[in-house]
Chain A
Amino acid sequence: MSISTIIQHCLTGISLGGAYALIAIGYTMVYGILRLINFAHGDIFMMAGYFMIFAMASFPWYIAIPITLLATVALGVVIEKVAYKPLRTAPRMSIMISAIGVSYLLQNLATYLFTALPKGYPEIPVLKKIYQFGDVSASLVTFITPVLTIVLVIILMQLINHTKMGMAMRAVSKDYDTAQIMGIKINNVISYTFVIGSLLAGIGSILYFTDRMTVYPYSGSLPGLKCFVAAVLGGIGSIPGAVVGGFILGVGETILTAAGYSTFSDAFTFVLLIIMLLFRPTGIFGEKATDKV
C-alpha cells in the first residue's frame, strides 16, 4: 500500500469519525439526563438532511444552514415534548419503546413525504472545493469535519462546566429527584439537552451529507446505531467519551475496509460493542454506577 493510499484512508477515517462523534454526543447527553436511548436520534439526523435540501432550494447556503439547524432543533424538542415527556414516570421499557416508535414513524413519514428514492444533497460550493495533494484528493469538508468537531466539543464542555444551565444539567444527570427537590426546572433542562443534541445532529448532518451527497429515508438508521455504539464505547453520559468513541469507530471501520474485510464492517461495530460491554460496561470514560435497593 502506498503512502498516498494510507493518507487517503486516514483522512476518510478521521472525517467519518468526526461526523460520528457529533451524532454520538446527542445520544450521550440524552442518556446522561433521561437514561433513555434516543433511538430516533439517527432519524432526526436524516430529517435534517431533507430540511437542508428544501432550504437550499430557495435560499443561499448561508441562510439555508441556520434554517436547517432551527428546524432540526424544533423537531428534536417537539419529539421530546410529545413522545417522551408524558412517559416520565413510566417504566424505562415503555419510554424506550416510544423512542423506537418515533424512529419508525420518522422513517415512514420520510418515505411517504419524499418517496423512497434518494435525493441529491445540495452542494455548498465553499465546502465542496476539492484539494489535491499528489495522489490524495479530498474536499474541504473532509478536513473541516474533525476540526469543527473538536472546536464544538470544547465550546460545549465550557458551557456545561461554567454556565448555570450546564450546572443544572450535571445536577440532573447525577440525581434526578434530588435535583428536582433543589428547585431545578427539570423540563427546561431536558429541553435544553434536546436543543443541544439536535443542533449537533444538524451540524453533523450537514457535514456528513455534504461529504456523501445523497439522502434517503433510511440513511439515518445505520449511522444512528453506530453512533450509539460509539457513545457506549466512550462511556455513555460522557461527552469526551462520545468523541473518542466516534473516532475509534470511524477509524476502525476504515482500517478494516482498507485491509479488505469490508464485508464485516458492520459486524465489527457490534463486536467492539460487545467486547466493551463485557470488560468495561461503563465505557472508557464512564463512571461506575451502583444499584440502589
Chain B
Amino acid sequence: MKNIQTVSPNKKRNLVLSIVALAVIVAILFYLDTNKAQHSYAISIIERSLIYAVVAVSMNLLTGFTGLFSLGQAGFMAIGAYTVAILTIPVDVRPSVYYMSGISPIIANLHMPFWAALILGGVLAAVVAALIGIPVLRLKSDYLAIATLGFAEIIRALLACPQMDRITNGSYGLKNIPGFSSIFTPFIISVICIGIMLLIINSSYGRAFKAIRENEIAAEAMGVNLFKHKELAFILSSFFTGIAGGLLAVFMRSIEAKTFQVSLTYNILLMVVIGGIGSITGSIIGAFLVNCGQEWLRFFDTPLTIAGVQIPLFRTGFRMVIFSILLMVVVLFYRKGIMGTSEFSWDGLGRLIRSIPGRFGKKQKVNAEESGGDK
C-alpha cells in the first residue's frame, strides 16, 4: 500500500487523465439517461453494479483491511432496505401494500424524503452492528464468520415473522417503493460512499485497521486498542452496507425477506474475492464484472446449435456452473484476484501497458513493487 504515499512523477498528466475520464463517464451516463427507453437494460445493470460495488467495498473494509471475516452483509442490507422501503412508500398507497394485516398506526403516516430514509437505514444498520459487535467481535476468524452469518439469519427471520406483519408486512413483502429518478442518483451516492471509505482507510484509523489485520497481538502491543478499532470497522462497514441495502430497495422497487438470504452474502464475497481482497478498486471491478458477467453469460443457458448439431452442454443452469468454476479457479490459482492488494493508478496502468510483451512475468513484478513488499 505504500504506493499511496509515493509521489507520482507525472502529477499533472494524471490529473488531466482523471478529469478526462470523469468527463467521459458523465457523458456516457448522460447519454444513457437521455435515451432511457433503448438503454434501460444497460442502465439497470450499471445501477445494480454500483450498488453492489458499495457493499463489496464495505465488506472489503472489514475483510480485506481489518482482517475480520464477517458473513453478515445480507442482514445489514435487509435492515437498510426495509427502513428505506417503509419510510418512502407513498402514504396514500400504503393501505394497498399492507393489504393483508393492515399497517401499524405508528408508521402509517411516517414519511421521509429518500435521502433521509437512506441515512436512517445506514444508521439503524450501524446501531444493530454496534450491539452485535460487542459480544461477537471477541471471536476469532471462523467463529466470527459463523456468528455473523447466524445474526443475519436471525434478522431475516425477525423481518419475515407474522408478529411483524403490521410493520414489515411479514411474508408479503413491500412494494411501490419509488424508484431512482435518474442514473445519477445511485452514481453520486455510491461515489460518495466509496470516497468516504477510501478516506477512512487512508486515515490513521485505516492504518490501525491494517495493523490489526497483519497481527493482532503486535498491533495491541503497539498501542492499538483492539476492541475499539474492530468495533469501529464493523460499525462503519455495516453503515455503508445498510445504505447499499436501501439503494437496492429503491432499485428493486419491491422487496421481501427472501432476497436477503445467505446466498446474497456469498455473491458479494465472490465480487470481493475476484477483485482482490484488500483492494478498493478491485472490489469495484469485481462488482461490475460479476454483475455484467451474469448477464453476458446468459447465452450459456439457451440451447446452442452449431451447424445443425445441438451442443449438449448448453441448457438452463449451465451459466451458474461456469460461474462457480470461475470462482474456484480464481480462488485456487489467482488467489490475489484481479488487483491483489494494490489500487488502480494511472502510473500502474502505464506500466502495465508498457509491459504487455511478456506480460505475466512482469506484471507480477510490478505488483510486487507496488505493494511494497507487504504480503
Contact = CB atoms under 8 A, between A and B. Distances in A.
A contacts B directly (C-beta below 8 A): yes
Contact of A274 (B150, B157, B327): B150
Interface stretch (B41-49, B97-105, B137-145): B137-145
A274 B321 CA distance: 34
B45 to A, nearest CB: 21
Contact of B158 (A92, A112, A267, A293): A267
B141 A92 contact: yes
Contacts of B161: 263-264
Interface residues of A, number: 44
Which of B146, B163, B270, B318 has the most chain A CB atoms closer than 10 A to its own CB?
Answer: B146
Nearest to B261: A221
Interface in B151-166: 151, 153-154, 157-158, 161-163
A270 B324 contact: no
Interface stretch (A13-21, A95-103, A146-154): A95-103
Nearest to B145: A96
Interface stretch (A54-62, A83-91, A135-143, A191-199): A83-91
Contact of B324 (A35, A96, A105): A105
B63 A263 contact: no
B180 interface: no
Interface in B109-154: 135-136, 138-139, 141-143, 145-147, 149-151, 153-154
A291 interface: yes
Contacts of A37: 142, 145-146
Interface in B306-336: 315-318, 320-321, 323-325, 327-328, 331-332, 335
Nearest to A37: B142
Nearest to B322: A108
B20 interface: no
B6 to A, nearest CB: 26
A291 B328 contact: no
Given A83-B332, A263-B161, A264-B161, A273 B321 contact: no
Contacts of A278: 135
B320 A96 contact: no
Contacts of B149: 225, 270
A290 to B, nearest CB: 12
A112 B321 contact: yes
B275 to A, nearest CB: 13
A257 interface: no
Contacts of A87: 331-332, 335
B114 to A, nearest CB: 31
Contacts of B328: 83, 98, 101-102, 105
A273 B144 CA distance: 11
A104 B266 CA distance: 8
A36 B143 CA distance: 11
Interface in B53-70: 63, 67, 69
B285 interface: no
A183 to B, nearest CB: 29
A274 B136 contact: yes
Interface string A192-229: 00000000000000000000000000000100010011
Contacts of A263: 157, 161-163
A130 interface: no
A105 B143 contact: no
B217 interface: yes
A117 to B, nearest CB: 12
Contacts of B142: 35-37, 92, 96
A272 to B, nearest CB: 9
Interface residues of B, number: 44
Interface in A65-118: 82-83, 86-87, 90, 92-94, 96-98, 100-102, 104-105, 108-109, 111-112, 115-116
B153 A273 contact: no
A281 interface: yes
B335 A94 contact: yes
A269 B324 CA distance: 28
B277 A90 contact: no
Contacts of A94: 331, 335
Interface string A257-273: 00000011011011101
Contact of A277 (B147, B262, B269, B315): B147
B327 A228 contact: no
Contacts of A270: 149-151, 153-154
Nearest to B265: A100
A232 interface: yes
B135 A101 contact: no
B157 A232 contact: no
Nearest to B143: A277
Given A263-B157, A270-B151, A278-B135, A111 B331 contact: no
Nearest to A275: B135
Contact of B331 (A101, A108, A115, A116): A101
B143 A264 contact: no
Contacts of A116: 317
B277 A273 contact: no
B317 A112 contact: yes
Interface of A: 35-37, 82-83, 86-87, 90, 92-94, 96-98, 100-102, 104-105, 108-109, 111-112, 115-116, 221, 225, 228-229, 232, 263-264, 266-267, 269-271, 273-274, 277-278, 281, 291, 293
20 contacts: A37-B145, A83-B328, A83-B331, A83-B332, A86-B332, A87-B331, A87-B332, A93-B141, A97-B331, A98-B331, A104-B266, A111-B320, A112-B315, A116-B317, A225-B149, A263-B161, A271-B154, A274-B136, A274-B147, A293-B217
